[in-house]
Amino acid sequence: MANGYTIEDNIIVINRELTKLDIFLRDFLEILKRHSDYLVVSGYVSICSGRTRATEDVDVLFLMMEKDRFDLLLEELQNNNFWCYQGDSSDEVYPYLKNMDNIRFARVGETFPNIELIPINESRKAKFFEFTHPQGIRVKNFELKIPPIEFEILYKEIILGSDKDVADAKHLRIFFSDIIKKEKFKEYETIIRQENK
Amino acid sequence: MKKPITDLDYVEFYAKKMKEDDSLFKQQKILIESQLESSSSLFKNMFGKGDNFKSNAREYLKSIGLIKPLK
């Protein structure tokens, strides 16, 4: 019997095997990373660290990009067995991003799970902050970027606030109680409350 | 450790256990993958295979608000 996680060089290492949900996300990020920086947020962060609950999507922030760059991303995703809910061509999909609306991708022949790809820029203060202050987390050989744990907890408690989010936050507070820094909550709360303004 | 009663009590109970015992992740993996497989099977049956899959899926996704009309 070992602890649920360890810390190695500031990376949280979760001591478990990969699930099919991890592999789905890993395959998507392998492509996305070649075109944009990213941050995985919300429910997956809790599930990755042991929360046992159903999920049908994984939320991924990425920096808003120009259409010619998005053309390449969409093409590579489609060539690697992903389809986009919003359309099959960049002309159909890009207008959603231009409106700063989220778009979703699933594996060809599947509907769920899906990746909810969330465009951000500097105007989204809280999201931009977490995006630029990532925490590394690793499961086996799959390493990815998530928000600071304290930030994720507060975002779920203050902004999202559903029963599911409150439960996710509680899981994170307890599971990571040994590494959570109380002073970070004060710092992040100010930033997160700007999201409501 | 107090006996869990509410949903949040169970969240607390398992978070404490998992923090100290990584063997519980095996159970979590089974539950997560079981839900994904059920969901996959359900929607494959609903939308069929091949050319019709995406159009059927998109129609359904619009009906539940996961594809929103472009503003």
Whole-number pLDDT of residue A195: 75
Residue B70 domain-assigned (yes or no): no
Instruction: Specify the pLDDT at position B48.
Output: 87
> Chain A contact for B51, CB < 8 A?
no
Q: What is the pLDDT of residue B56?
A: 95
Whether pLDDT at A197 is above 60:
no
**Nearest-angstrom CA–CA distance, B66 and B69:** 10
Residue B12 domain-assigned (yes or no) = yes
Cβ contact, residue pair B11, A101, below 8 Å: no
What pLDDT does B1 receive?
63
- What ipTM describes this predicted complex? 0.91
- Asked, for residue B59, whether it belongs to a domain, the answer is yes
Dump pLDDT digits (tens) for A34-44.
Answer: 999 999 999 99
Out of A17, A171, A177, name the one closest to residue B29 (CB): A17
Q: What is the pLDDT at residue A196?
A: 63
Q: Contact A47/A105 with Cβ under 8 angstroms?
A: no
pLDDT of B48-70, one tens digit each?
888 799 999 999 999 999 999 98
Percent of chain A at pLDDT exceeding 90: 95
Residue type, A168: D
Hey, how many other C-beta atoms are within 10 angstroms of the C-beta on A72? 13
Task: Judge: B54–A83 Cβ closer than 8 Å, yes or no.
Answer: yes
Mean pLDDT confidence for A81-96: 97
Domain hosting residue B25, numbered range: 7-63
Asked if the structure places residue B69 within a domain, the reply is no
Size of chain B, expressed as the number of residues it contains: 71
What confidence tens digit (pLDDT) does each residue in A106-138 have?
A: 999 999 999 999 999 999 899 999 999 999 999
> How many domains would you assign to chain B?
1
Cα A42 from Cα A151, distance rounded (Å) = 10
* B29 within a domain of the structure (yes/no): yes
Evaluate whether residue B13 is within a structural domain: yes
* pLDDT value for B4: 81
